[in-house]
Amino acid sequence: MTIRCARCERESEGLTQAPLPTELGRRIQGSICPSCWQEWLRQQVILINEYRLNLIDRQARAALEGQMRQFLNLPDSDQP
Ligand SMILES: [Zn+2]
């Protein structure tokens, strides 16, 4: 499936699999190119180390998800 990436605005093949088993994961598959996703994965490691995020903690996961939406240019789906 060809997608237009929400972050870099290039046309590209989408990810072969949704990277998360959620609605957001399906959105990422439909709107983020694989190279931007790889960039986020690297960025995520940096953020987790920098802020010492404990991903067992719900608030930490929510904060990281907010960072991910910002990084990937995917605003919250609750907003129009
Ligand atoms: Zn991209």
pLDDT digits (tens, 9 = 90+) for 13-48: 999 999 999 999 999 999 999 999 999 999 999 999
Instruction: Report which of residues 77 and 70 the model is more confident about.
Output: 70
C-alpha 51 – ligand 1 centre gap (Å)? 25
The two three-digit tokens of residue 49, written as one number: 């180390």
How many helices and strands, by DSSP H and E, does the chain display? 3, 2
4 C-alpha to ligand 1 centroid (Å): 8
pLDDT of 78 strictly over 70:
no
Sorted by where each begins, the domain ranges of the chain are 2-72
End-to-end CA distance of the chain: 25
What is the CATH architecture assignment of 2-72?
A: Orthogonal Bundle (1.10)
HSE at residue 54, side-chain half, CA atoms within 13 A, is 3
pLDDT at 76: 80
Question: Higher model confidence: residue 7 or residue 78?
Answer: 7
Distance of CA 29 to the CA centre of its chain: 9
